[in-house]
Structure formats: structure tokens, C-alpha cells
């Protein structure tokens, strides 16, 4: 099946690398195949002896490594009831931290003069052991992390993140300034300062930074009006430094938006995406639902998916006359800043670009707000909430959005757009994150569950 993937997907579990690895490390002895692939993509040299850094379990490490790193992760049980998940997280977090403390103790007994311990979780701060200030700033989830890294060194060294931060600010000709705690996201580390935001990635996750650069460059070239420009970060500088790719953006005002977005703030968001969409109307980069369907069908690998591509081709024909434009691509509360009910910033543009169908950002915002209340995954939320919502004609805010873009608001259009949104979102996740296709529960709920519920699916079956 002819599906072009521009870069291998990143491993979300490797986002901690910049916050821990010494800045001058180039030669690595690593036994985990996925981590080896990440470091190889970053330009590291993989060796079996004379390594700058060894990464593995305590039993796998040599007795005299200059730098030894032991990552520890608690297995995540997907699909369990919510009360069970909460109790399980606490128990597993305590076990991970006990293992990490024992590993640090073993490092000290081996005679390492420097032995540190870091704990972290996705979308949470990286906390160094003994950092009381960090502990006070942690969320409830951050207080019970499922990941830890023990590191031992024969001599203290700056990390890749610390060195990149200094390099980035010098490149942008910015004075030294205070930065907050690093936060691990899907494949990269983000550090927020008073005047700028640094993003650092090692390996395939660098693709996320490249996509964000391209989106911000395209938006700048489109001569965005002030109502858009003031809500979008400026790209101050970007580049590579050692093993890391990095970008430095201007910091925007406002606080992160709560997960469930209220109607007044939603109105402010709709004003933004309505003004954003026409900026990408002329573009050779047209996203295709049929192409997205081929990505999903290749990953699904089931007989049920054989009808998906012709189904998506028929959908694409029905949507051919809709105006294409600029979309953010991941427009949800976690990427929004606000002052009260007024939108003040939109960040994380790696999913953005021109040539997109309308309504995608609005549908993503609506579904993510629903999911924040129900804790459902994307697939069940789409089937349970978004498809019925579309078939009932949506809501007044959606009708207003359609009027502004000159769209004929009908339940059929909304239903078609919900399907197009699912194709776009799931194809993006499968291409960007290498772990998705290897998670049976994620595939079952976000892919196969939706395939079984797609409207008129049998009409396109062979």
C-alpha cells in the first residue's frame, strides 16, 4: 500500500533524554532497541565499549561507566475503571520510586561521586530528587509519576537541556533569565521562561519542531492580521546543538485554559479559528482524507479496514468544494492561554498548516472538552458524543462559525466533517508517535471501535 511517511514516529517515552543526558555525550552503549533507534536518529554513535554513557538496567551496566543511566517505567494498564486506575497509579508510582532510590543507592555503593534521581510523567514537570520547590508546583498526577531515571556520573556535567538553553538564548541574543521546571511532553521537553519558551527534542521527535517551524513560517508569510498575530508566538531562533534540535519562541501572556472550555471562551476561540482559516486558502499542500485513510488502513491491518479507503475517497469527493484554509491541528485547552474568558495565546503548532478542511479545529476543541468531563478516549468520545452531536445539527456556535465561512450548515455536512476529522487526527497520531500501533487497547478504541460505527460504511464495502 503506497503510504508515504516523512519520518519515523517518535517514542513518547524518550522525551526525558534532553533533561538527563550529559551535553558532551556522543558514544552510547544502549540495549533497548527503541532507545537505540532514537539515539541513532539524533546522530549518536552506538558502541559496545568505551561509551560516554551506558543506558540500561543496573545489571546490564558496566562497573566503570563514566555515566550510567537507568530508566524505570511502570507498566500502564489501559482500559481499567477510573477508581482502579487511580489506586493503581499510586501503587505503581511508589514501586517505581522505591526502585529508583535503590538504584541510586547502588550507584553510591559503586563509588560514583555524583548520583541523581529524576521522576517525571507525560505533560508533567521533571522533578529532581530533593527539590522541594518542584514538589510544591506539581499537579495531583505529577505527585505520583510513573517514570524515573537514576543517573550516576564520575564528574558533574551540564545536561543537554541546560547547555541547549544557554546556546539558544545566546543565538537569539537574549540576556540570561530565569526559567521554570522542564516539562516532558510527547517526545520533547519544554521549558517556559518569562520572555521565551524553549522546546528541545532528541531523535525522531525533532520532526515535531520542524513541522511547527513550517506552520509558523507559513502563517508569517500569510501576513496574518493583528487579531491572529498577537495570539501566535514568534519564532525567535531554532537549530541543532549536539544531539538536540531546539526552538525558542516568544512567551505569550495568560494562563493555561482549564480542560472543559466554557461557552464564552469558546466564542473567543471561534473568532480566532474563523479569522485563521482564510489565511491558508491558497496552498499546494492539500490534506487528503483518502491519504489519511490509507495510513489508518495500513496500521489497522484487518479485513474491516479494506473498505475504508474507498469510503474516504467518496467522502473526499463530497467535501471537494469546501474552502481549504489554515488550521492549528491540535486546538484544545492544553494548547490555549487565556485571561479569564478571553483567549490570549495559541501554542504548539506542529500539527498546523494551510490546505485544511474547515471545522477541524472546532471539532477537536468540542471533543476534547467533552473528553475532559468523561475521561473517554478519542474514539469512544467521537462515537458517543461527536457523531450524535453532528447528526442533531450541532449547536449555535457551530452554526455561527459556518455562516462566517460561507458554509451551508447541515447535519450531513457536520457528520462528514466529523469523519474527516477522525481520519485527520488518527493518521497524524499514527505517523508522529511510534508507540500507537503497538498499543492494542489504543488501536481497539480509537481505530477499530470507530470503524465499526462509521456512517454508511457498508455502502463502500467491496
Q: Which candidate, 258, 426, 295, 268, places its Cα nearest to that of 362? A: 268
The pLDDT of residue 457 is 46
- Domain finish residue from 226, 250, 274: 250
The pLDDT of residue 330 is 97
Q: Is residue 3 part of a domain?
A: no
Any idea what the CATH number is for the domain that residue 198 is in? 3.30.200.20
| C-alpha span between 152 and 273 (Å, rounded) | 48
- Please name the residue that has the C-alpha cell 472543559: 260
Contact assessment for residue 371 and residue 381, using Cβ atoms and an 8 Å cutoff: yes
* Burial state string for 356-371 with b = 16 or more CB within 10 A and e = fewer than 16: bbbbbbbbbbbbbbbb
The pLDDT of residue 77 is 64
170 and 155 housed in the same domain: no
According to DSSP, residue 22 is labeled B
Give the other-Cβ count within 10 Å of 79's Cβ. 11
Contact assessment for residue 150 and residue 73, using Cβ atoms and an 8 Å cutoff: no
Cα dihedral value 248, 252, 258, 262, nearest 10: -130
Which residues are CB-contacts of 269 (< 8 A; sequence separation ≥ 6)? 261, 331, 336, 343, 362, 365
At residue 90, φ and ψ (nearest 5 deg) are -60, -45
Q: Is residue 155 part of a domain?
A: yes
| C-alpha span between 175 and 170 (Å, rounded) | 8
33 and 97 housed in the same domain: yes
Q: Is residue 7 part of a domain?
A: no
317 and 445 housed in the same domain: yes
| C-alpha span between 200 and 157 (Å, rounded) | 18
Contact assessment for residue 354 and residue 280, using Cβ atoms and an 8 Å cutoff: yes
Residue 291 host element (H or E): helix 289-300
Q: Is residue 272 part of a domain?
A: yes
Which residues are CB-contacts of 365 (< 8 A; sequence separation ≥ 6)? 261, 266, 269, 331, 332, 333
Which residues are CB-contacts of 330 (< 8 A; sequence separation ≥ 6)? 348, 350, 351, 352, 364
Q: Which three cell numbers stand for residue 453?
A: 460505527
Contact assessment for residue 271 and residue 365, using Cβ atoms and an 8 Å cutoff: no
Contact assessment for residue 337 and residue 252, using Cβ atoms and an 8 Å cutoff: yes
The pLDDT of residue 136 is 62
268 and 370 housed in the same domain: yes
Contact assessment for residue 333 and residue 369, using Cβ atoms and an 8 Å cutoff: yes
The pLDDT of residue 241 is 95
* Burial state string for 253-266 with b = 16 or more CB within 10 A and e = fewer than 16: ebeebeeebeeebb
56 and 203 housed in the same domain: no
The pLDDT of residue 456 is 54
Q: Is residue 2 part of a domain?
A: no
430 and 449 housed in the same domain: yes
Contact assessment for residue 193 and residue 179, using Cβ atoms and an 8 Å cutoff: yes
The pLDDT of residue 461 is 41
285 and 412 housed in the same domain: yes
210 and 336 housed in the same domain: no
- Domain finish residue from 159, 177, 208: 159
| C-alpha span between 392 and 407 (Å, rounded) | 17
Contact assessment for residue 380 and residue 347, using Cβ atoms and an 8 Å cutoff: no
- Please name the residue that has the C-alpha cell 473526499: 316
Q: Is residue 365 part of a domain?
A: yes
Structural domain total, the chain: 3
Any idea what the CATH number is for the domain that residue 311 is in? 3.90.1200.10
Q: What are the pLDDT tens digits along the chain (462 aa)?
A: 334 434 457 888 899 999 999 999 999 999 999 999 999 999 999 999 999 999 999 989 987 788 999 999 887 666 666 666 678 888 999 999 999 999 999 998 888 998 999 999 888 889 888 776 666 666 666 788 899 999 999 988 999 999 999 999 999 999 887 788 899 998 999 999 999 999 999 999 999 999 999 999 999 999 899 999 999 999 999 999 999 999 999 999 999 998 888 888 999 999 999 999 999 876 667 889 999 999 999 999 888 788 999 999 999 999 999 999 999 999 999 999 999 999 999 999 999 999 999 999 999 999 999 999 998 999 999 999 999 999 999 999 999 999 999 998 899 999 999 999 999 999 999 999 999 999 999 999 999 999 999 865 444 444
266 and 389 housed in the same domain: yes
| C-alpha span between 183 and 166 (Å, rounded) | 17
The pLDDT of residue 134 is 60
Q: Which domain holds residue 414?
A: 255-460
First-residue to last-residue Cα distance in the chain = 17
167 and 141 housed in the same domain: no
pTM of the model: 0.91
361 and 456 housed in the same domain: yes
- Domain finish residue from 217, 234, 250: 250
Q: Is residue 6 part of a domain?
A: no
The pLDDT of residue 352 is 94
Q: Is residue 42 part of a domain?
A: yes
The pLDDT of residue 279 is 94
287 and 340 housed in the same domain: yes
| C-alpha span between 126 and 138 (Å, rounded) | 9
The pLDDT of residue 7 is 45
According to DSSP, residue 458 is labeled G
Amino acid at each position: 500500500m503506497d503510504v508515504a511517511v516523512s519520518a519515523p514516529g517518535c517514542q513518547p517515552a524518550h522525551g526525558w533524554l534532553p533533561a538527563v543526558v550529559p551535553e558532551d555525550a556522543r558514544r552510547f552503549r544502549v540495549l533497548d532497541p527503541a532507545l537505540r533507534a532514537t539515539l541513532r536518529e539524533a546522530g549518536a554513535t552506538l558502541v559496545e565499549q568505551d561509551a560516554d554513557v551506558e543506558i540500561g538496567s543496573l545489571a546490564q551496566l558496566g562497573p566503570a561507566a563514566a555515566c550510567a543511566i537507568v530508566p524505570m517505567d511502570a507498566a500502564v494498564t489501559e482500559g481499567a475503571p477510573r477508581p482502579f486506575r487511580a489506586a493503581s497509579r499510586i501503587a505503581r508510582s511508589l514501586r517505581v520510586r522505591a526502585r529508583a532510590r535503590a538504584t541510586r543507592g547502588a550507584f553510591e555503593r559503586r563509588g560514583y561521586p555524583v548520583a541523581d534521581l529524576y521522576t517525571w510523567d507525560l505533560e508533567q514537570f521533571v522533578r529532581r530528587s530533593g527539590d522541594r520547590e518542584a514538589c510544591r508546583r506539581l499537579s495531583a498526577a505529577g505527585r505520583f509519576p510513573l517514570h524515573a531515571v537514576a543517573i550516576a556520573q564520575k564528574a558533574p556535567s551540564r545536561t543537554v537541556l541546560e547547555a541547549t538553553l544557554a546556546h539558544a538564548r545566546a543565538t537569539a541574543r537574549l540576556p540570561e533569565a530565569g526559567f521554570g521546571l522542564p516539562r516532558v511532553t510527547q517526545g520533547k521537553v519544554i521549558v517556559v521562561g518569562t520572555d521565551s519558551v524553549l522546546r528541545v527534542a532528541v531523535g525522531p521527535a525533532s520532526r515535531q519542531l520542524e513541522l511547527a517551524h513550517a506552520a509558523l513560517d507559513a502563517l508569517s508569510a500569510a501576513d496574518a492580521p493583528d487579531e491572529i498575530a498577537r495570539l501566535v508566538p514568534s519564532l525567535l531562533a531554532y537549530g541543532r546543538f549536539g544531539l538536540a534540535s531546539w526552538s525558542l519562541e516568544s512567551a505569550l501572556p495568560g494562563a493555561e485554559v482549564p480542560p472543559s472550555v466554557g461557552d464564552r471562551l469558546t466564542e473567543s476561540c471561534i473568532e480566532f479559528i474563523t479569522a485563521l482559516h482564510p489565511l491558508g486558502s491558497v496552498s499546494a499542500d492539500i490534506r487528503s482524507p483518502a491519504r489519511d485513510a490509507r495510513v489508518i488502513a495500513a496500521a489497522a491491518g484487518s479485513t474491516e479496514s479494506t473498505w475504508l479507503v474507498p469510503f474516504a475517497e467518496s467522502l473526499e469527493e463530497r467535501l471537494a468544494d469546501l474552502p481549504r484554509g489554515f488550521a492549528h491541528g491540535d486546538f484544545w485547552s492544553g494548547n490555549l492561554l487565556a485571561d479569564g474568558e478571553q483567549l490570549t495565546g495559541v501554542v504548539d503548532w506542529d500539527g498546523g498548516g494551510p490546505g485544511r478542511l474547515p471545522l477541524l479545529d472546532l471539532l477537536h476543541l468540542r471533543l476534547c472538552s467533552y473528553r475532559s468531563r468523561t475521561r473517554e478516549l478519542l474514539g469512544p468520545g467521537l462515537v458517543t458524543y461527536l457523531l450524535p452531536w453532528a447528526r442533531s445539527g450541532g449547536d449555535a456556535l457551530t452554526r455561527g462559525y459556518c455562516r462566517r465561512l460561507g458554509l451551508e450548515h447541515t447535519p450531513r455536512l457536520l457528520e462528514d466533517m466529523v469523519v474527516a476529522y477522525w481520519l485527520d487526527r488518527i493518521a497524524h497520531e499514527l505517523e508522529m508517535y511510534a508507540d500507537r500501533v503497538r498499543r492494542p487497547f489504543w488501536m481497539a478504541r480509537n481505530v477499530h471501535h470507530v470503524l465499526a460505527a462509521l456512517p454508511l460504511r457498508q455502502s463502500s464495502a467491496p
